[in-house]
Amino acid sequence: MRIDLHTHTVASDGTDTPAELVAAAVAAGLDVLAITDHDTTRGWAEALDARPAGLTIVPGAEFSCVYYDPTGRRVSLHLLGYLFDPDDPALRAERSRLRESRLVRAEEIVRRLAADDFEITWEQVGALADGATVGRPHIARALVAAGVVPDVSAAFSELLSSRGGYYVRKADTDVFDSIGLITAAGGLPVFAHPIARRRGPVVGDEVVAAMAAAGLVGLEVNHPDHDADDREHAAGLARDLGLIGTGSSDYHGTNKTTRLAACTTDPEAYERLLALPAARAPVGP
């Protein structure tokens, strides 16, 4: 069994359509694929329509969250929510609020870049996103198209990093509220790339313990942004806290160099996840 539990499509900041993602999953030899676009369920229907008989699809989303430590330090973090009810009013409203906040914030990032004579416009970025959950990768592609940077990854390292002057925060959900919302919608919250330091500050083990006490069910252990030590640490933490350790590629099509199924979830971990009560069942064999 080959299982990839974290992927993106054009419904957010990936470059494959949901149908193309499903085809890519088959080509990569996957048996189970989760579709987890940022703050939206928009890609679910097309992915499920395109599903071949042999593939199982786990509908999900990746939720933008924030944690403030006692000293007021802000840490941005992501929760994967699996198998929640897409019509749950509270979670639905929160997804919508998050997408709106992303729009306002992306517009401000573009304004700051344009003010410094990087020749991109909000119209271009909006056209690239085309109704999807907008994110920095869309701005990165506009910068590539304008000839400012050679590729998306250079756009991030040179201009869009969370540590740089053009970065603007979004109004992300308090991580404990998000765990509550996902759980109340019948979903299973899993902490995505918990030790991805390259992206910005990360939380300590004690915060993960508090998240576990609040209802977190899993921790992404095998992720492209985790090195061998990170994976070992995350696996140990998951074991200590009784969390399910997952693995996934966080595939974004050509917006990243990571291939689909580059990291995968152990079938035993997947079975543990499925044994938990959820609003929906995965679709497929």
Least distance from Fe ion to the Cβ atom of residue 53, Å: 27
What is the chain's length?
Answer: 285
Instruction: Please pick, from the candidates 37, 88, 230, 250, the single residue that binds Fe ion as defined by CB under 5 A.
Output: 250
Considering only residues 48-67, where is the footprint of Fe ion by CB under 5 A? Answer: 62
8 to 47: interface string for Zn ion, x by CB under 5 A: -----x----------------------------------
Rg of the chain taking only CA atoms, in angstroms: 18
Nearest CA among 167, 133, 112 for reference residue 39: 133
CB 109 within 8 Å of CB 139: yes
Buried b (16+ CB within 10 A) or exposed e, 74-87: ebbbbbbbbbbbbe
**Cα 68 from chain centre:** 20
Q: Which is nearer to Zn ion, 106 or 278 (CB)?
A: 106
Three-class secondary structure of residue 223 per DSSP: coil
Least distance from ligand AMP to the Cβ atom of residue 285, Å: 30
CB 280 within 8 Å of CB 18: no
CA separation, residue 145 to residues 106, 121, 265 (Å): 17, 11, 36
The span of 210-218, 225-233, 235-243, 249-257 binding Fe ion (CB under 5 A) equals 249-257
- Distance from C-alpha of 10 to C-alpha of 18, rounded to nearest angstrom: 7
Considering only residues 177-216, where is the footprint of ligand AMP by CB under 6 A? Answer: 199
Instruction: Please pick, from the candidates 42, 136, 141, 193, the single residue that binds ligand AMP as defined by CB under 6 A.
Output: 136
Q: Which is nearer to Fe ion, 62 or 230 (CB)?
A: 62
Sequential DSSP letters for 13-28: T-SS-HHHHHHHHHHT
Least distance from Zn ion to the Cβ atom of residue 213, Å: 28
Instruction: Please pick, from the candidates 4, 13, 172, 230, the single residue that binds ligand AMP as defined by CB under 6 A.
Output: 13
Least distance from Zn ion to the Cβ atom of residue 134, Å: 11
**Cα 194 from chain centre:** 12
Cβ atoms < 10 Å from Cβ of 68: 11
How does strand 188-191 pair with strand 32-38?
A: unpaired
Least distance from ligand AMP to the Cβ atom of residue 106, Å: 7
Q: Which does 136 bind (CB under 5 to 8 A by kind): Fe ion, Zn ion, ligand AMP, none?
A: ligand AMP
User: Cα-flanking dihedrals φ and ψ of residue 71, to 5°?
Assistant: -85, 0
Contact status: 112 vs ligand AMP (CB under 6 A): no
The span of 25-33, 151-159, 180-188, 212-220 binding ligand AMP (CB under 6 A) equals 151-159
Q: Which is nearer to Fe ion, 120 or 219 (CB)?
A: 219
Return residues touching ligand AMP (CB under 6 A): 13, 38, 135-137, 152-153, 156, 199, 252, 255-256
Return residues touching Fe ion (CB under 5 A): 62, 78, 192, 250
